Amino acid sequence: MQALEGKMADLDDLRHDWTLEEIDDLFRLPFNDLLFQAQTIHRQQFDPNKVQISTLLSIKTGACPEDCAYCPQSVRYDTGLQKEQLLAVTEVVNAAKAAKAQGASRFCMGAAWRSPKDRDLDTVEAMIQAVRDLGLETCVTLGMLSEPQVHRLKEAGLDYYNHNLDTSPEYYGEIITTRTYQDRLDTLSHVRQAGINVCCGGIVGMGEGRADRVSLLAELANMEKHPESVPINLLVQVEGTPLHGTHKLDNFEFIRTIAVARMLMPGSYVRLSAGREQMSEEMQALCYFAGANSIFYGEKLLTTSNPEANADRALFNKLGISALGGDLADQASEAPLLTAER
């Protein structure tokens, strides 16, 4: 383990050749040893008492043609979700102003598209430019993108593009059939080649085994360049979706996943995304100790709930944690927020 730690200490010498066996060995470490190693590596690259805050806004909700088994936005499932058209730029600007006032340093916008039409990007580009003018980092998740579309977003000033792998290549077919794993990798390649930061992670607790969590993290850690942000979502089960009723993931297994992600990708922001509302304060505290240093802040992630803003602020106070770039405000935005699971 000391040899592994030495290899990961220098960001100029990051590994991109992790084997499944090595990652599985990390998962199997005694819990205290695993958290100690992860926290040691975390402290080499980050302030352990700072957490990056992002806010998500759904700019177009529902009626997605994909069949992602976890997603209430799919037109294939009856979840009672009301579809909404693309928001006006002024609505987005107002939500971004509120997010900044509450301590967010990054504003994320998501649309329930399989892939956007070129005409839709005109409005999205205006949103990106307006949010950047407020001094916030910008992130969008719009589905699959062509290379020309990525360059349009780059020219608009986009900082981050979110496109999750969701799960392992081996388990992927159990979750999604309307988009291939390679489709996701192709979009990520376009984003990376255009010089946009990559936000890419996955969802755990979808009925996958540990081998799938190992394989997912291997896919992320063995990218030519690690994603700048790695969201780790805990499945939020929504009635009407195929995954409703799935056996819940053990809490310690989730924390282990956070810790291993930190060890494999030392310089990335590891984000607690969907599912935080299900977590106790103690579980979230262990996740921060394991190396999580980013959250989505706000009381709703589209159709799923998120910890109340005051609860987040109270927990940060208990732990001596502060928001990167500022303090959390007392109240969260009333703007509708996007699920981090897309």
Catalytic residues: 64, 68, 71, 108, 139, 199, 271
Cα separation of 115 and 144, whole Å?
Answer: 5
DSSP annotation of 39: H
- Among residues 160, 66, 162, which one has the least CA distance to residue 112? 66
Distance of CA 25 to the CA centre of its chain: 25
Write out the DSSP string of 214-254: HHHHHHHHTSSS--SEEEEEEP---TTSTTTTPPPPPHHHH
Q: Which residues contact 172 (CB under 8 A, 6 or more apart)?
A: 166, 181
* Residues facing residue 137 across a β-bridge: 106
Query: Do the beta carbons of residue 27 and residue 209 sit within 8 Å?
Result: no
2 backbone dihedrals φ, ψ, rounded to 5°: -65, -35
Q: What are the tokens at 326? A: 């500022």
- Among residues 137, 145, 90, which one has the least CA distance to residue 120? 145
Q: What are the tokens at 66? A: 């994909």
AA identity, residue 88: A
Q: What are the tokens at 133? A: 């003018």
What distance, in Å, lies between the first and last C-alpha atoms of the chain?
A: 34
Cα separation of 112 and 96, whole Å?
Answer: 19
Query: Do the beta carbons of residue 230 and residue 198 sit within 8 Å?
Result: no
Cα separation of 265 and 216, whole Å?
Answer: 13
Counted residue by residue, the chain has a size of 342
CB atoms within 10 A of CB 108: 28
